[in-house]
Amino acid sequence: QKEVEQDPGPLSVPEGAIVSLNCTYSNSAFQYFMWYRQYSRKGPELLMYTYSSGNKEDGRFTAQVDKSSKYISLFIRDSQPSDSATYLCAMSAVGNTGKLIFGQGTTLQVKP
Amino acid sequence: DARVTQTPRDKVTEMGQEVTMRCQPILGHNTVFWYRQTMKQGLELLAYFRNRAPLDDSGMPKDRFSAEMPDATLATLKIQPSEPRDSAVYFCASGQTTAGELFFGEGSRLTVL
């Protein structure tokens, strides 16, 4: 079993929809939680970064961490065609900062 | 605009040949990572360095892969001999240990025939 599980999708939604992306993990030492976005033939780029539990909002994006359930989510409001990409969750443990373990990635397509 | 630079962007080679991929991390970053991405496995950590010292290379097939940082501006990943199963996109990423954020290069797409 992988340390981080993520449904690869693909996920297809109409423009303007609310998108929910999720990951589960097994390592209780993970304290740093990130979401990366990757466009085709490009490297991943950081989208959201949270430490420990709670919510974080940035524009149309909201990241949630529930450490008790070992579950993290990314919500995208008012989705746009430009949001079409692969979204990867990533996590690292305290003392191991920078060593990120990634989920498989979920491919999202937002249709106009 | 600081960025991680990787070469080559694309490489096609024959089985058994040596392949070397290079990475220039962002100036001032003290951690460098090599990841491999495939459709089946996603992003897998191969090796990483902190202050040029190798910290963890447990993700690399030791018999054929090697990773080095000859200086702070260059990281290399070498495969010798290459095999078809090594076909993947190899990413280099750099960061600062206090921040946790990694900055990725655009990747080296390797095809071994």
Q: Is B19 left (phi over 0), alpha (psi -120 to 50) or beta?
A: beta
A-chain residues near B33 (CB < 8 A): 98-100
Apex CA B37: angle with CA B36 and CA B42, to 5°?
120
Per DSSP, the three-state class of B66 is: strand
Cα distance between residue B91 and residue B52, in whole Å: 17
Cα distance between residue A88 and residue B36, in whole Å: 14
Residue of B9, B50, B102 to mutate, interface with A, max A Cβ within 10 Å: B102
Q: Quick one: pLDDT band at residue B96, thresholds 50, 70, 90? A: confident
Is residue B44 a contact partner of residue B36, using CB atoms and an 8 Å limit? yes
A-chain residues near B95 (CB < 8 A): 98
**pLDDT number for residue B38:** 94
Q: Quick one: pLDDT band at residue A8, thresholds 50, 70, 90? A: confident
Q: Quick one: pLDDT band at residue B11, thresholds 50, 70, 90? A: very high
Taking every pair of Cα atoms in chain B, the longest distance, rounded to a whole number of angstroms, is: 41
CB spacing of B100 vs A98 below 8 angstroms: yes
Measured CB to CB, residues of chain A less than 8 Å from chain B are 32, 34, 41-46, 49, 88, 92, 97-105
Residue A67 neighbours by CB under 8 Å, 6+ apart = A28, A52, A53
List, for residues A90-103, the tens digit of each pLDDT value. 998 876 656 788 99
Residue B95 neighbours by CB under 8 Å, 6+ apart = A98, B29, B31, B33, B101, B102, B103
Strand pairing category for B108-112 and B10-13: parallel
CB spacing of A102 vs B42 below 8 angstroms: yes
Q: How many residues does chain A have?
A: 112
Apex CA B43: angle with CA A29 and CA B98, to 5°?
45
Which of A46, A88, A98 is facing B97, going by the closest CB pair? A98
Task: Give the amino acid at B50.
Answer: R
Cβ contacts from A onto B, under 8 A: 58
The answer to whether residue B100 scores a pLDDT higher than 90 is no
Closest among A44, A79, A16, A15 to B45, alpha carbons compared: A44
Closest among B53, B49, B4, B48 to B25, alpha carbons compared: B4
CA distances from B100 to A71, A102, B24, B33 (A): 20, 13, 19, 12
